[in-house]
Chain A
Amino acid sequence: AQTVTQSQPEMSVQEAETVTLSCTYDTSESNYYLFWYKQPPSRQMILVIRQEAYKQQNATENRFSVNFQKAAKSFSLKISDSQLGDTAMYFCAFTDRGGSEKLVFGKGMKLTVNP
């Protein structure tokens, strides 16, 4: 069974700083997708970034980038130039390409950006 681990329950950072959120996963699959979702206090779950396991290049989306280490089964999220609006719960998630239709979530990490 696949598992996703987010070992840091909570972090805080000052506005404009850079922060890295860690995520590790366990799977026997070779082809899969990894995601970071953000859930602000409004509770809407928003897709931040997506990584396809067969792509070696790390995904980037504006201020958000990932460090994908397939051999180490690590998938960290870097947020550059943190903004107050980045305050949210962040969930790392996994799904395989076999069409299992299941998204496996980590426990989440609460990020607070301070002014």
Chain B
Amino acid sequence: DTEVTQTPKHLVMGMTNKKSLKCEQHMGHRAMYWYKQKAKKPPELMFVYSYEKLSINESVPSRFSPECPNSSLLNLHLHALQPEDSALYLCASSQKTSASSDTQYFGPGTRLTVL
């Protein structure tokens, strides 16, 4: 089973709203990722959590705040977003062992629209 789930599927929010995106995996993977993807472009890495600790922050604005409450769950808290933040937000996970290929498995994404 290589399933990563994301909720919600769609989200519309105003620039003053606070919302959260949720990602879950039950494959025992120890690395989880957030990506932002604009139409017809490849995904852009935002954050990486490795063993529940933030290991990479790709200089993402502070209006995006990641959280990893446990090894199966990854959240992305959103506050005071801008219209240009509208995009597909993808979550991924990988095994993160020395013997693994670190193959990343992606969730279906949350389509975010900021008005």
Contacts and interface: CB of A to CB of B under 8 A. Distances in A.
Interface of A: 33, 35, 37, 42-47, 50, 52, 89, 91, 95, 97, 99, 101-103, 105-108, 110
Contact of A102 (B41, B45, B88): B45
B23 interface: no
A97 to B, nearest CB: 8
B90 A108 contact: no
Nearest to A91: B42
Given A45-B90, A89-B40, A91-B42, A33 B101 contact: yes
B74 interface: no
A33 B90 CA distance: 21
Contact of B48 (A45, A50, A101, A106): A101
Nearest to B105: A47
A108 B106 contact: no
B86 to A, nearest CB: 14
Nearest to A37: B106
